[in-house]
Amino acid sequence: MVCRANKAWILIATTLLLVAPLGAQSWQLVWHDEFNYTGLPDPQKWDYDVGGGGWGNNELQYYTANDADNARVDGSSLIIEARQENLGGYNYTSARLVTRGKADWKYGRFDIRARLPYGQGLWPALWLLPSDWVYGGWAASGEIDIMELVGHVTNQVHGTLHYGGTSPNNVQSGAAYTLSSGAFNDDFHLFTLEWVPGEFRWYVDGTLYATQNSWWSSGGVYPAPFEQDFHLLFNVAVGGNWPGPPNPSTVFPQQMVVDYVRVYQSSGVAPSVGITAPGNGAALAAGVPFTISADASDDDGTVTRVKFYQGDGFLGRMPASRIPLPSKKSPARGVMPSPPWQSIMTSIPQCRKW
C-alpha cells in the first residue's frame, strides 16, 4: 500500500462512492417501521414536536402529540393529517413526528414510500435534523431534506441541503424532480436518499435526480456539518414562507400517508487497495513528475476514485473524472513534493474508507 520515494512515505486514502444500481449495494437494514399495527405511532420509535409559533417559517398550524386526529396508524400506513380547526390560537392542526432521542444515524440510505397531500398552503416534508447541533444553530449544523412539496405544485418534489452559517448566514442547495404525468397525491411514490461520506444522492421511484458533494459550515471544516448523527422528521405544515397560506380552494383535511420507512447502512467492509506502481522502495527524484497506479476493489460497490496523499498533502487521484473503473485499475499523475515535505509521514500508512 505504500512506496518509498526519497525517504518520504506515500499514504493512500480511498474515497468509496457507491455507484452500482440502486438495491445492488451491500446495504443492511438497521431500522424501519412498516406501520402494520393500529393506533398511535409506535412510541418506541417516534416522538412529537408540539406547539405553534411558526417554526421559523411563519407556519400557521399547531402541532399536537398523541392525537389520533393528526397522527395515527391504520394497520398498513402512517397517516399525518392536517385539519382546519382551532387550537392554541391557531386555525389549523397537524403533527410533526420525530425519531430524536430514539434513533439517529450518520450516513445511510433512507427509503420512504408515501402519498402526499395537495392544495395551496400545504407543505409536507420528510427530512433530517442534527441530533446534537455540534456546529451551532440552524443551519451551521445542517439540515437534510429528503422530500418537500409545496401543495400548489402537485407534480414536483424537492431535495435540499441547508448549511453554512447560523441564520441569517445560512445557505441552501438542491434540485427538483417533476413527474412526467400525474401528481404525487395520486399514488404512492418511493423517496430515497443515499448519504455516504462526502456525497448525497436523491431518487424518486429509483430514478436518480440530484447529487451533492459540496457544502460548508462556519462551525467546522469539511465534511462538516454532514458527518454527525441526524434524526428523522415527518410532518405536514400549513402555510409558511414557501407555500404561502391556504386559500378558498384548499380542501381540508389533507393527509400524508406513509406506507413504510426503512433505514439502511453500509456493511462497512473496508476496501482493498494496493499501490501497483511505482514499486515499494522505488527511488524517485524530488520535483520530477511520476505516475502512481493502484488496484482497488470493495464488496459494497464499485470504487470510482482513489486519492493519494503524503501526510496531509494531496498528490493526485485516479481516475480524474467520476466514472467507474472498468478494471478497477487506472493510473494517476502526481508530482513528488519538494524536500520540506519529505519524511512528513512516518507512521504506519493507512487505508481510509469514508
List, for residues 89-116, the tens digit of each pLDDT value: 999 999 999 999 999 999 999 999 999 9
- Calculate mean pLDDT across residues 72-76: 97
Sign of CA dihedral 127, 226, 142, 149: negative
**DSSP letter at 28?**
E
Residue of 59, 81, 85, 148 marked catalytic: 148
User: Domain range spanning residue 292?
Assistant: 4-19+269-341
| Same domain assignment for residues 67 and 116 | yes
The answer to which of 127-131, 244-248, 326-330 has the lowest mean pLDDT is 326-330
Write the single-letter amino acid at 238.
V
Q: Is 334 inside any structural domain?
A: yes
pLDDT digits (tens, 9 = 90+) for 290-312: 777 777 665 555 565 677 666 65
Contacts of 43 (CB under 8 A, 6+ apart): none
| Same domain assignment for residues 209 and 316 | no
What is the pLDDT, as a whole number, of residue 314? 67
| Same domain assignment for residues 190 and 301 | no
For residue 330, the number of C-alpha atoms closer than 13 Å in the C-beta half-sphere is 20
First-residue to last-residue Cα distance in the chain: 17
Contacts of 344 (CB under 8 A, 6+ apart): 8, 310, 311, 313
Q: Is 53 inside any structural domain?
A: yes
- Residue pointed to by grid coordinates 511520476: 290
Which of 208, 231, 266 terminates a domain? The answer is: 266
What is the pLDDT, as a whole number, of residue 243? 96
Active site residue 85: no
Q: What is the CATH number of the domain that holds 79?
A: 2.60.120.200
- Calculate mean pLDDT across residues 158-168: 98
Active site residue 148: yes
Q: Is 74 inside any structural domain?
A: yes
What is the pLDDT, as a whole number, of residue 104? 98
Rounded to an integer, what is the distance from CA 107 to the centroid of its chain? Answer: 7
| Same domain assignment for residues 35 and 97 | yes
Q: Is 108 within 8 Å of 198 (Cβ atoms)?
A: no
Query: For residues 339 and 195, which has the higher predicted lDDT (pLDDT)?
Result: 195
Residue of 143, 194, 199, 227 marked catalytic: 143
pLDDT digits (tens, 9 = 90+) for 220-241: 999 999 999 999 999 999 999 9
Query: For residues 32 and 291, which has the higher predicted lDDT (pLDDT)?
Result: 32
C-alpha cell at 81: 393529517
DSSP three-state, residue 209: strand
Asked whether residue 348 carries a pLDDT value surpassing 90, the answer given is no
Q: Is 301 inside any structural domain?
A: yes
Torsion (CA) 92, 93, 94, 99 in degrees, nearest 10 = 130
| Same domain assignment for residues 259 and 274 | no
Q: Is 336 inside any structural domain?
A: yes
Quickly count: other Cβ atoms within 10 Å of residue 279's Cβ. 9
| Same domain assignment for residues 288 and 245 | no
- Residue pointed to by grid coordinates 524536500: 339
What's the structural domain count of the chain? 2
| Same domain assignment for residues 306 and 253 | no
Q: What percent of the chain has pLDDT over 70?
A: 74
